[in-house]
Amino acid sequence: MKHTAGVVAALATIVAWHGVAHSQTKPAAFPVKPVRLVVPWPAGGGTDIITRIIAQKMSENMGQMVLVDNRSGASGIIGTDYVAKSAADGYTLLMGNTATNATNASVYKKLPYDPLKDFVTISLTANSPYIMSVHPSLPVKSVKEFIALAKARPGELNFGSGGVGSAPHLAAALFNYLAGIKVTHVAYKGGAAHTPALISGEVQVTFTNPPEVMPHIKAGKLRALAVTSPERWHNAPELPTIREAGLPAYEFTIWWGLVAPSGTPAPIIERLRAELVKAAMETNVKDSLARQGVDVVASTPEEFTKLIRSEVAKWKRVAAEAKIQLD
């Protein structure tokens, strides 16, 4: 009996140990609570619009709410830094873009976060060119006419952007530099502010992602002059590229992608990528984004990381050539 009892006790110990070991190696269920998706720009801007469309579908598919949290300020730095310093558990994510995860690192001397070291990439989400738009009262109907007017009135025309060092600021600064003109920069707190400023005539031109300006262009409140992509854009093939206007070195494409704090476990990253791609590729989501003038894209984490590295290097060169350096 003693021998039998000893065997039973030993077997119980082995089973218990195996259960503990199994529970330690088996990944925990995810998600078991709402996920916070930070948009480092104000509500109503392009990034916010795109994020809310995708977050709603992810919520439906995952059975947990994906809550959009707008934490704007300082060209996206405030919200981006918040996510960089959040717990690496998959419950706080960032909808990053060209500015937060590339150009900011190129124009600011110091950032509170490192776009490569402090984040792990999940997947690209969408991309699009910027649209160069002007107020309808401006007596120009082409990029060449705009450049001629700017040269005739140096410093008198203004361009709006979502903040100093933001992607729209860099897109316009690059245009200024290549065209040899001086259009004065007016910084606003995100695209949700600088687009109304263009509609009101407070500024005369902006370089902005399509979700922010397409409805106003269609309504006749703004006039589109060109797209910033190297080739004509399939969503607006009637618009020429800035390259066609005589600036062959000009190119700017905005992209958005999901990232998480560095150290987030690989199984969680894989789950989030699968859910993001599934949501973004659904027909109604693609159609909604297409109406905003945005193309859905997806990538592996490795492809996304490679893109960020190349973008940081590219914009460092541009910032140096255009003499853009911020403290």
**pLDDT given at position 306:** 97
pLDDT value at position 2?
45
**pLDDT score recorded for residue 270:** 97
Of 279, 270, 273, give the one whose Cα is nearest residue 258. Answer: 273
Report pLDDT for 90: 98
pLDDT computed for residue 163 by the predictor: 78
**Tens digits of residue pLDDT in 244-281:** 988 999 999 999 999 999 999 999 999 999 999 999 99
pLDDT tens digit sequence for 134-162: 999 999 999 999 999 999 999 999 999 98
For 325, the token pair is 């350096």
For helices 46-62 and 283-291, what crossing angle results, to 10°?
A: 170
pLDDT higher at 145 or 188: 145
Residue 28: the pLDDT is: 67
Q: Which of 320, 323, 315 has the alpha carbon at shortest distance from 103?
A: 315
> What's the pLDDT at 69?
98
Mention every residue, 6+ apart, whose C-beta is less than 8 A from residue 174. 250, 252, 318, 322
pTM of the predicted model, to two decimals?
A: 0.79
Nearest to 320 by CA among 186, 197, 170, 206: 170
Higher pLDDT, 314 or 80: 80
Helix axes 167-179, 301-321, angle to 10 degrees: 40
pLDDT at residue number 145: 97
Confidence of residue 192 (pLDDT cuts 50, 70, 90): confident
Q: Is the pLDDT of residue 232 over 90?
A: yes
Class of domain 131-245: alpha beta
Domain borders along the chain are 35-128+253-321, 131-245
- Is 10's pLDDT higher than 90? no
For 52-111, write each residue's pLDDT tens digit: 999 999 999 999 999 999 999 888 999 999 999 999 999 999 999 999 999 999 888 899
Looking at domain 35-128+253-321, its CATH architecture is 3-Layer(aba) Sandwich (3.40)
What mean pLDDT is predicted for residues 177-181? Answer: 92
Looking at the predicted structure, is the pLDDT value of residue 11 above 90? no
